[in-house]
Structure 1
Amino acid sequence: MVMINPAGLDPDLLRAFAFIAEEGSFTRAAERIGRTQSAVSMQVQRLEAVLGQKVLVRGKGGAIQLTPHGRYLLERSRELLALNDEIWSAFRAPQIHGTVRLGTPDDYALQYLPHILRRFADSHPAVQVDVTCAPSTDVVERLKAGELDLTVCSEGHEPRRWPVMELWRGPLRWITSERYAAHRLDPVPLAVADSGCVWRRVALRSLERAGRSYRVAYTSTSQAGTHAPVMAGLAVTISPPAWMPEGLRALAPGEFLPDLPDTGILLLKGKDPRQPVTDVLAAHIAETFRSDPRLLER
């Protein structure tokens, strides 16, 4: 017989636990929640009492570590909290009407747009989202021209002195095939975007500084177009490791090719965006990136 707890799980307890896991600190989690550290510690104790399992332990030097039960709980907590917030917003937020124009490279569109658009449509059915998929350079220019209200782009394409929201920061990696070893060839064959791409410039600069010879074997305006020759073992490319399709792998730091710097994904708002729909969609986008467990792995 399955035992059911009639009280359920308190979202406030789950949120405190998730913030501690994400921050690695009771103090920083308490600051995000707006409560004292002792209050947050008590919330975790209550959660563990309800579940009957330890979810957090202190490691060497006081570092916060998740137990196996804690890792399981963190993934499900994000899903439950996102649904909780979505339901709350749908019933408590004022009805918003209008159209918001969003620009994004296809690198991020396939990974995140379906989820973002579905959740946004569920909670704001009277808002229409017009989406433009184009390289970062193009969507940023359209934002500057007033043709878009919001733009997701790769770091390095943002205009100077333009307010930005950082959605994610993490490593770029060389991406090669699981079956083939194009990364061992000399010169290194590359599959990259066109000359306006920041990631392309970063890759070429890293190879040149390391004295490695290379040739640009394939160019494409889409990430799928750069992945295809890599899967065939004909080239290597670069990207964050979170979005590799099956058949590809990220080289470890220092594995045959020079290390690449960290990069960021940014959200830019137009100078005269359509309000309040723009801010609401921006919050949905930020929450989607923040809750993606793949992006927490470095």
Structure 2
Amino acid sequence: MRYISEIDQLSGYPSIDTDVLRTFVAIADQGGFTRAAERVNRTQSAVSMQMKRLEEDVLQRKLFERDGRQVRLTPEGQVLLGYARRILKLHSEVFNTLREPHMVGLVRIGTPDDYVMRYLPGILTRFSKAYPLIQIEMHCEASNVLMQRRDLALTVISRQPGDDVGELLRTERMVWAAAACFCVDEHDTLPLAVSGVECFGTQWSQAALDSVGLDYRLAYHSSNVAAIQAVVSAGLAVMVSLESLVTEDLRILGSEDGFPPLPSMNLRLLRNPAMASPITECLAQYILEGFRL
């Protein structure tokens, strides 16, 4: 305690113990001292004493407003809540990094590139903050190509309903999409932009258009999803996409536009047993959580 006091005197500010911050966050989340005390495994009187010292001795600011049995944060309390969450998160990351030395290394994952744009940024950001010493190597290819590879620890793929390989990440509707300026009636033959003649989306779109007798042509073909989206955004063609991947500059086409419904797509996670490790299992959990948000 003397060491902490000396540091406090040098800095000019008192310190706030992480246990106190954890209690403070619990009160904010639970809306009261009683439920917060249960959450942090302390008595209500101990929690009240912690907060009294925090308000009167440490910060000298009122943090709570009481409304009957409910507790609300003051503006100063709201400010502290933001800092408290960040401090506790960093505290957890320090322990994850330094107390788990096995969480160091390289993990290879495979995914179609359209999922990289929508889902992977958030997943990898959270993962890298928690485990900064792990290197991620990503391989972006079509699902049918990724399934043949044996050098990937984790693989995200698209599968049609009924194919139960791997673990289900999410089920999502396939939709038709085009630029706002695209007018279907101006085209005698509908131009399609596809990512591959063997992919499910292309096969399903052709079958659906054939079923309603709508003429079409494969006008643009690229394995690069960004290239397909650029063509469609320019108003040159229609594409089939997962609903969540339709960008704001595009509109979804439905039955009112003369387009038939499409099946849903299953997104699944494959684990390579030959590369199982604490690292791959941890990243797999982040991927499962990220796709289900």
Give TM-score scaled by structure 1 length.
0.64
Q: Which residue of 2 aligns with 1:105?
A: 112
Of the three residues 239, 250, 273, the one matched with 1:271 is: 273
**In structure 2, what is the Cα distance between the partners aligned to 1:277 and 1:131?**
15
The residue aligned with 1:139 is 146
2:186 and 2:91 map into 1 onto residues whose CA distance is 51
What pairs up with 1:107-122 in 2 under 5 angstroms?
107-122=114-129
> What is residue 193 of structure 2 aligned with on the other side?
191
CA distance 1:155–1:161, change in 2 (3 Å): closer
Deviates more, 1:111-120 or 1:259-268: 111-120
The answer (yes or no) to whether the contact 1:150–1:268 under 8 Å persists in 2 is yes
CA contact (8 A) 1:182 1:235 kept: no
Question: Structure 1 counterpart of 2:104, which letter?
Answer: H
The change in CA–CA distance for 1:221 and 1:179 in structure 2 (over 3 A counts) is same
Q: Distance in 2 between matches of 1:9 and 1:287?
A: 23
Q: Does 1:153 align with 2:157?
A: yes
Matched residues in 1 for 2:222 and 2:161: separation? 18
8 A contact 1:184–1:256 mirrored in 2: no
Q: How far has the Cα of 1:224 moved from its partner?
A: 1.3
Q: CA deviation at 1:9?
A: 5.1
Question: Within 2, Cα distance between the matches of 1:277 and 1:103?
Answer: 15
Which residue in 1 is equivalent to 2:54? none
> Deviation at 1:134?
1.4
Secondary structure of 2:100's counterpart equals coil
Q: Specify every segment of 5 or more residues in structure 1 that has no aligned partner in the other structure, as ranges.
A: 1-5, 15-47, 53-79, 292-298
Q: CA offset at residue 254 of structure 1?
A: 4.8
Q: Relative to 1, partners in 2 of residues 1:238 and 1:161: Cα closer, same or farther, differing over 3 Å?
A: closer
Q: Deviation string for 1:118-142 (max 9, x for gaps)?
A: 2222211222211111122222211
Query: Identity of aligned pairs, percent?
Result: 32
Query: In 1, Cα distance between the equivalents of 2:186 and 2:207?
Result: 18
RMSD over equivalenced CA pairs, Å: 3.3
Q: Deviation per CA, 1:69-90, whole angstroms, max 9, x where unpaired?
A: xxxxxxxxxxx99997896476
Q: Does 1:239 align with 2:241?
A: yes
Cα deviation, residue 289, structure 1: 1.6
The one-letter amino acid of 2:100's match is: P
Q: Is the 8 A contact 2:160 2:200 kept in 1?
A: yes
CA displacement 1:1-46 (0-9 Å, x = unmatched): xxxxx944558759xxxxxxxxxxxxxxxxxxxxxxxxxxxxxxxx
Deviation string, structure 1 residues 183-225 (Cα, Å, up to 9, x no partner) = 7633211001112211111111111122222111101102212
Structure 2 letter corresponding to 1:101: R
Q: Aligned pair count?
A: 222
Q: 1:228 aligns with which of 227, 230, 233?
A: 230
CA contact (8 A) 1:137 1:157 kept: no
Partner of 2:4: none
Matched residues in 1 for 2:273 and 2:266: separation?
A: 21
- For 1:217-251, what per-residue CA distance to the aligned partner results, in whole angstroms no more than 9, with x for missing partners? 10110221211221222210011222223421112
When residues 261 and 10 of structure 1 are mapped into structure 2, their CA distance, relative to the original with a 3 A threshold, is farther
Asked whether the 8 Å contact 2:161–2:264 carries over to 1, the reply is no
CA distance in 1, matches of 2:26, 2:109: 36
CA distance in 2, matches of 1:264, 1:81: 35
Q: 2:289 aligns with which of 284, 287, 292?
A: 287
**Could you state the TM-score of these two structures normalised by the residue count of structure 2?**
0.65
Does the CA contact (< 8 Å) of 2:93 and 2:131 recur in 1? no
Q: Flag the 1:122–1:209 CA change in 2: closer, same or farther, 3 A.
A: same
Per the TM alignment, residue 157 of structure 1 is displaced from its structure 2 partner at its CA by 11
Q: Is the 8 A contact 2:233 2:249 kept in 1?
A: yes
Counterpart of 2:171 in structure 1 is 169
Match of 1:256 in 2: 258
Q: 5+ residue gaps in structure 2?
A: 1-22, 32-68, 74-83
